[in-house]
Amino acid sequence: MASHQDGYATGRLRREQILTAATELFARVGYRHATVLELAQAAGISRTGLLHHFGSKEALLEAVLQRRDAEDGARFASAQADQTGVAALTALIDLARYNVSQPHLVALFAVLSAEAAAGEHPARDYFIERYRRTVEGARRSLLRAREAGVLAADIDPEQQAHAIVALMDGLQVQWLLDPALDMAGAIRSHLQRLLTVPLPR
Amino acid sequence: MASHQDGYATGRLRREQILTAATELFARVGYRHATVLELAQAAGISRTGLLHHFGSKEALLEAVLQRRDAEDGARFASAQADQTGVAALTALIDLARYNVSQPHLVALFAVLSAEAAAGEHPARDYFIERYRRTVEGARRSLLRAREAGVLAADIDPEQQAHAIVALMDGLQVQWLLDPALDMAGAIRSHLQRLLTVPLPR
């Protein structure tokens, strides 16, 4: 048996393993169809063991989503320092590029957001809030770009913020069906047409 | 009991009722989670009765998708006569407007396309082909617009065709979560910025 200190580290590692396995399984079969037993088996752990770490399937889903959001949050934090909004918009292109290495996560969000949008779903409030936050972030970047004088004249920041987020979501589904699609390139072209200055790189 | 002629009309009506109920149930719980028994109950018919009309859940799904495609196809047929591509692009705005009256169908396509994109799924090939066709239609309209001299100079028809379809898909998920979102308005703004002529209305 491990010492208490080892036990703590082992517990954290096990937690991460469960989250990774759950991300993959939720993505593959959807939230509703994945059972706690299947989730446990995918993580190589007993049903009781899984419920010890995450009290319920709902709690596990929430932890999966929060891990992804924490990663994304870190990605955007530094870009927020740029007052022209261009760095934050550029970070969206970087995110699309990163997502190419994370097909399971991309699939998970595509399936869960659609399931949650389609009706009653434990993650419905989460996605309503997530879209509010994501669209608001894009809107703020566009407003900053306008204040800095680098936004094209005919852009409505509110409407365009929804469009940018929609474009990214929609491209993900097409990319999952055809990995040859250049998501980052399509997003870059779209953002470039909104700005009067060249995007970096 | 009905006469044979009545029986034929009744059978067609029953078929439509099953398709409508299946559209709603697939949209609400996803394809994988809906059982044949639940689908039958939703249509107010026995399991055997449902399987008499549609041999399997897969066959029922295919019929649901084909009914939608037939409706959409009729919508775009007349727009194809316009050699500038503008009518076909305008038809996309009309489609978004129509979709507002069809939340179950919108939800069904959002859930199924995401499920199919996420991995093995009986509708995966259907969606690969459907996106190929939809993107090709948008690309053709943009090429026509370019030939007619009404496409903005910096537009890549291939990339933009993917973007238009992605934008429409992504807006649908946001709209399902927040019905106040003006999908048609956002699509109209996007398309208008691609063209050097004003869109009708």
With the CA atoms of B36, B38, B40 and B42 taken in that order, what torsion angle do they form, in degrees rounded to the nearest 10?
A: -150
Are B170 and A174 an interchain contact pair (Cβ–Cβ within 8 Å)? no
Mutate to test the interface with B, among A24, A113, A164 (most CBs of B within 10 A): A113
Average pLDDT, chain A: 91
Is any Cβ of chain B less than 8 angstroms from the Cβ of A118? yes
Residue A2, pLDDT score = 47
Q: Which of B117, B174, B189 sits opposite A173 (nearest CB)?
A: B117
- Cβ contacts (< 8 Å) between B107 and chain A: which residues? 114, 117-119
How near does any CA of chain A get to the CA of B135, in Å? 10
pLDDT, residue A150, reads: 97
Residue B55 structure tokens: 């041999």
B188 contact residues in A (CB cutoff 8 A): none
pLDDT of residue B199: 95
How many other C-beta atoms are found inside a 10 Å radius of the C-beta of residue A57?
19
Per-10-residue mean pLDDT of chain B, 201 residues long, equals: 65 91 85 90 95 92 88 81 93 94 88 88 91 96 97 96 98 97 97 96 72
On chain B, the residues whose CB falls within 8 A of the CB of A172 are 117
Cα A9 to its chain centre, rounded Å, is 26
Chain A's closest residue to B179, CA to CA, is: A117
User: Å from A25 to nearest chain B CA?
Assistant: 10
Q: Closest-CA residue in chain B for A155?
A: B189
pLDDT tops 70 at residue A157 = yes
Cβ neighbours of A118 in B, within 8 Å: 27-28, 30, 107-108, 110-111, 176
**Cα–Cα nearest to B30, from B126, B113, B119, B111:** B111
To the nearest whole percent, how much of chain A has pLDDT over 90?
66
pLDDT band at A6 (very low <50, low <70, confident <90, very high): low
What mean pLDDT is predicted for residues A60-74?
86
**Among all chains, which residue has been given the structure tokens 């800095």?**
A148
pLDDT of residue B140: 96
Rg (Cα) of chain B, in Å, rounded? Answer: 19
Q: Which residue has the tokens 């019905």?
A: B179
Q: Does B122 lie at the interface with A, CB-CB under 8 angstroms?
A: no
**Tens of pLDDT, residues A96-117:** 999 998 888 899 899 889 989 9
Q: Do residues B46 and B40 touch, judged by C-beta distance below 8 A?
A: yes
Mutation pick from A93, A158, A162, A189 vs chain B, by most beta carbons of B within 10 Å, is: A162
Closest-CA residue to A43 (of A21, A26, A25, A11): A21
Domains along chain A with CATH numbers: 1-61 (1.10.10.60), 77-201 (1.10.357)
Indicate yes or no: CB of B32 within 8 angstroms of CB of A28: no
Closest-CA residue to A87 (of A200, A201, A190, A194): A200
Q: Please state, rounded to an integer, the average pLDDT across all residues of chain B.
A: 91
pLDDT digits (tens, 9 = 90+) for A19-53: 999 998 987 777 778 899 999 999 999 999 999 99
pLDDT value, residue A123 = 87
Question: Which residues in chain B are closer than 8 Å to A117, comparing Cβ atoms?
Answer: 107, 110, 172-174, 176-177
Which secondary structure element, helix H or strand E, spans residue A199, and what is its range?
A: none
* pLDDT, position A4: 61
Collapsed DSSP state (helix, strand, coil) of residue A136:
helix
The residue assigned the tokens 């910025």 is B193
Chain A residues with beta carbon closer than 8 angstroms to that of B169: 166, 169-170, 173
**CB-based contact, B32 to chain A, within 8 Å:** yes
Residue in A107, A156, A181 closest to B189 by CB: A156
Which ipTM score applies to this complex?
Answer: 0.87
SS3 content of chain B, % helix, strand, coil (to 5): 75, 0, 25
For residue A132, pLDDT over 80 is answered with yes
